[in-house]
Structure 1
Amino acid sequence: MLQGKTLPIFDKPICENLRTKAIYIPGGNLQNLVEYNPSTHYWCNCTAQVVGPDDDFVSPVSCERSRSCFKPIGGKPIA
């Protein structure tokens, strides 16, 4: 799914379950996984809904390490 796409440089981990339509569009902008865009529809891959397994809304801002369902892309974050 992410083959041929590059993730922008980011200073915080991104949850591997955070999704936007941009991931599935050739040449899509993955910047929306890093920065919140109010015109982008986000969903959780675990629930296929706008809320995660913990019943909180998902977005690049709200999907962070403090959530019990958070899984960083590439595994455990360094420090």
Structure 2
Amino acid sequence: MPMPVETLRQHLVDAFPDAEIAIEDLAGDGDHYRARIVSGAFAGLSRVKQHQLVYAALKGQMGGELHALALETSAPQTAQGT
């Protein structure tokens, strides 16, 4: 059974409450999504570690209810010198 976008969004909001999250259903089937997540939780982490945090937030549903998730993760840009 596919994962509704609302469920995916809730998992991400629960794990990254400060995040800016954009989700796109790539195939219109609730099984293939692209998520762009900008969160302070990613500061100083490698891309691999960032993605591991996202997969952990999905609580084992990746590969089951959620077949494919293309990820773009980053920390917020910080203001440079004022």
Structure-1-length-normalised TM-score:
0.26
The structure in which a higher percent of residues are strand is 2
Structure 1 or 2: larger helix share?
2
TM-score normalized with structure 2 length:
0.25
